[in-house]
């Protein structure tokens, strides 16, 4: 009789198709339960990072005010050229002013045609878009407006090249400022000089801003001139439903966009809710104008 050199082994048993489908189903169920939580956690971290950036910009603006007779940060305009629709070009904005005065640091862009730079930039909102930039105030270019507060146009950075130093800065935040009609539109910040009165280079002092804990300084969004185009505010966080705001006392908050004047939009250009004190009184939690109760 011949014997095998190896002991016999019991036949191996594989997974049945039903068992495999059950395992796949359990994994899919776990993913469906965990994925929304992971998404919410990631978005929450982006919101927190954005709020931190805004608070740092508030500190930089306080340094600027302390060094410049308590004035708010200005944005300058250059009247040597205009866009195709006659708007004066930007020569500076609040971002380049803060960088040029060494109140804050940010990675500069090398060329106007380069992609946005968000590397360790305090002007970068992690929930914004960085695929392209808005340069609406460049020669030969008109000024397109966001159609709603969830539109991509308000998610992109605003790029400005400093006339004084040549530095190029991308900013994902708008400023509560106006470029003309300082008397008719008494917002706390201004782009100089007044487009309608080019001899007026006056600025607001921080000490003139009443209820600075309620008065908005910067916001998720683009550019300025909310009195004309209210949808420059961006619904950028929490699935495009909330907006981060920085106030003049230095604190930042995440608020439902629907709670802001104009809600989620659309707000037609030229018919902004910021034009009417009666309308603003319906939103008493935040102040946008100097003459707002």
Full 3-state SS string of 37-77:
HHHHHHHHHHHHHHHHHHHHHHHHHHHHHHHCCCECCCEEE
| Phi-psi domain of 72 (left: phi exceeds 0; alpha: psi -120 through 50; beta: other) | beta
Q: Look at residue 36 and tell me whether its pLDDT is greater than 60.
A: yes
* CA dihedral (134, 136, 141, 142) positive or negative: positive
Q: Look at residue 277 and tell me whether its pLDDT is greater than 80.
A: yes
Q: What is the mean pLDDT of residues 203-225?
A: 94
- pLDDT value of position 258: 96
Structure tokens at 219: 């916001």
pLDDT category at 115 given cuts 50, 70, 90 is confident
Structure tokens at 18: 């039903």
Structure tokens at 45: 């971290």
Q: Look at residue 292 and tell me whether its pLDDT is greater than 60.
A: yes
190 CB-near residues (< 8 Å, 6+ apart): 72, 74, 75, 177, 178, 179, 182, 202, 203, 204
Q: What is the mean pLDDT of residues 264-280?
A: 89
Q: Between residues 42 and 269, which one has the greater pLDDT?
A: 42
Residue 226, CA distances (Å) to 119, 123, 219, 270 in order: 28, 19, 11, 9
pTM: 0.85
**Report for 119-133, 223-237, 247-261: range of highest mean pLDDT:** 247-261
Q: What is the mean pLDDT of residues 21-50?
A: 81
Give the tens place of pLDDT for each residue, 45-70. Answer: 999 999 999 999 999 999 999 999 99
Q: What is the mean pLDDT of residues 213-222?
A: 96
- pLDDT value of position 203: 94
- pLDDT value of position 25: 83
Q: Look at residue 189 and tell me whether its pLDDT is greater than 90.
A: yes
Lowest mean pLDDT among 2-6, 77-81, 96-100, 168-172: 2-6
- pLDDT value of position 126: 93
Q: Which secondary structure element, helix H or strand E, spans residue 81, and what is its range?
A: strand 75-82
Q: Phi, psi at residue 133, to the nearest 5°? A: -120, 160
- pLDDT value of position 87: 72
For the chain, the domains span 33-280
Q: Phi, psi at residue 175, to the nearest 5°? A: -120, 140
Q: Please report how many Cα atoms fall inside a 13 Å half-sphere around the Cα of residue 31, on the Cβ side.
A: 6
pLDDT category at 143 given cuts 50, 70, 90 is low
């Amino acid at each position: 009789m011949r014997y095998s050199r190896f002991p016999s082994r019991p036949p191996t048993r594989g997974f049945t198709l039903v068992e495999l489908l059950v395992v796949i189903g359990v994994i899919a169920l776990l993913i469906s339960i965990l994925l929304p939580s992971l998404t919410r956690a990631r978005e929450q971290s982006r919101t927190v990072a954005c709020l931190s950036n805004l608070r740092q910009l508030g500190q930089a603006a306080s340094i600027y005010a302390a060094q410049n007779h308590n004035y708010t940060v200005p944005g300058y305009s250059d009247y040597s050229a205009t866009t195709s629709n006659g708007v004066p070009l930007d020569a500076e904005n609040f971002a380049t002013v803060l960088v040029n005065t060494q109140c804050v640091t940010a990675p500069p862009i090398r060329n106007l045609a380069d992609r946005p730079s968000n590397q360790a930039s305090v002007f970068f909102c992690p929930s914004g878009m960085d695929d392209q930039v808005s340069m609406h105030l460049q020669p030969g270019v008109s000024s397109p407006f966001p159609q709603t507060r969830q539109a991509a146009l308000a998610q992109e950075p605003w790029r400005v090249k400093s006339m004084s130093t040549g530095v190029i800065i991308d900013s994902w935040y708008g400023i509560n400022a106006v470029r003309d009609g300082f008397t008719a539109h008494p917002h706390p910040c201004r782009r100089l000089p007044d487009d309608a009165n080019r001899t007026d280079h006056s600025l607001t002092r921080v000490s003139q801003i009443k209820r600075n804990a309620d008065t908005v300084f910067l916001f998720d969004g683009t550019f300025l001139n909310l009195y004309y185009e209210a949808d420059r505010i961006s619904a950028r966080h929490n699935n495009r439903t909330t907006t981060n705001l920085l106030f003049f006392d230095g604190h930042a908050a995440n608020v439902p966009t629907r709670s802001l004047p104009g809600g989620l939009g659309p707000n037609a250009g030229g018919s902004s809710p910021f034009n009417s004190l009666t309308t603003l009184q319906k939103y008493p939690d935040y102040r946008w104008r100097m003459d707002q109760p």
